[in-house]
Amino acid sequence: MEKALERVIEHLSRARSVLFVTGAGISAESGVPTYRGIGGLYDGKTTEGGVPIEVALSGSMFRRRPELTWKHLHEIERACRGAKFNRAHEVLALMEGRFDRCWVLTQNVDGFHKAAGSRNVIDIHGDVHDLRCTRCEFTERVRDYVHLAPCPSCPQCGSVVRPEVVLFEELLPPEKVAVMEREFALGFDLVFSIGTSSLFPYITAPVVEAVARQRPTVEINPGQTQLSRVVDVHLQMGAVAACEALWAARDRWKRG
């Protein structure tokens, strides 16, 4: 592991632009449960209503039965309530000041990267704290769902309100896709994949493209994924421990 860390430090010392792609694993260390992972809320079982969580949290289900989708949104939010960003999120935010260009592309909807201080964040699946009306222009930023009704309605027009997140079956937000594609086109000297099972094509694409361009790639994940055999370095450890180790060596790869 020490040799692997040394290789990553060497890559960091040469990089002027860095992309961090993050998934559920980075927030799991804050106590945020996954849906389907080991120990997740819906690990090996369906929802109380007898349907898979992917169906309950789908765009089509929300259109037909918003109260059912909201039931599980409340359930997930309660399980995450009180959690906050961890040291890994903080380190990635600090990294912004150490490179000419530094971005975070995250699948997570918890908002931890921005809360930790990162400014260049593409939260491609949205943020559960941002609510919007399904009919009018009403929007609201909330800390949690404590004050929300079981199926909240808009205070202006009475229509159903929803979180500004991408439900299953829904398209990614065009404005965020545009930013993602712009930054991908510019390329990065170094690409990290942190705590993600790398199932979505747009999550694996930055790593695969970096490999094709012969740019160094790093995976931080205690388990094995489809990227583990592709990346230059696989740090088989948790996000917090890995980020702490890299930040502790920062004077060796970049001076402020």
Q: Tell me the mean pLDDT in the region 57-63.
A: 96
Beta bridge partners of 34: none
Rounded-to-integer distance, Cα 133 and Cα 148, Å: 13
In the chain, the percentage of residues whose pLDDT exceeds 90 is 81
pLDDT score, position 34: 65
Task: Calculate the alpha carbon distances from 13 to 4, 17, 18, 238, 254 in Å.
Answer: 14, 11, 11, 22, 6
Beta strands in 177-216 (DSSP E): 190-194
Q: Is residue 204 a contact partner of residue 160, using CB atoms and an 8 Å limit?
A: no
User: What pLDDT does residue 51 have?
Assistant: 84
Instruction: Dump pLDDT digits (tens) for 212-223.
Output: 999 999 999 999
pLDDT tier at 40 (50, 70, 90 boundaries)? Answer: low
pLDDT digits (tens, 9 = 90+) for 143-196: 999 999 999 999 999 999 999 999 999 999 999 999 999 999 999 999 999 999
Quote the pLDDT of residue 199: 78
Q: State the average pLDDT over residues 228-249.
A: 96
Q: Catalytic one among 89, 113, 125, 129? A: 125
**222-236 pLDDT tens trace:** 999 999 999 999 999
- Quick one: pLDDT band at residue 39, thresholds 50, 70, 90? very low
Q: Which residues of 80-115 are buried (b: 16+ CB within 10 A; e: fewer)?
A: beebebbbbbbbbbbbbebbebbbbbbbbbbbbbbe
Q: What is the pLDDT of residue 46?
A: 62
For residues 49 and 191, give the distance between their C-alpha atoms in angstroms, rounded to a whole number: 41
How many Å separate Cα 9 from the centre of its chain?
A: 24
pLDDT value at residue 256: 44
Rounded to 5°, the CA angle 112-79-158 comes to 85
Cα 172 to its chain centre, rounded Å, is 14
Per the annotation, the verdict on 74 as an active-site residue is no
Crossing angle of helices 2-14 and 239-248, in 10° steps, is: 60
Backbone angles phi, psi at 243, to 5 degrees: -65, -40
Please report which confidence band the pLDDT of residue 52 belongs to, taking 50, 70 and 90 as the band edges.
Answer: confident
pLDDT in tens, 82-126: 899 999 999 999 999 999 999 999 999 999 999 999 999 999 999
Predicted local confidence at residue 53, as pLDDT: 86
Average pLDDT, the chain: 92
Phi, psi of 253 (to 5 degrees): -120, -15
**CA distances (Å), origin 76, targets 51, 85, 167, 216:** 16, 17, 14, 36
Mean pLDDT of 36-61: 72
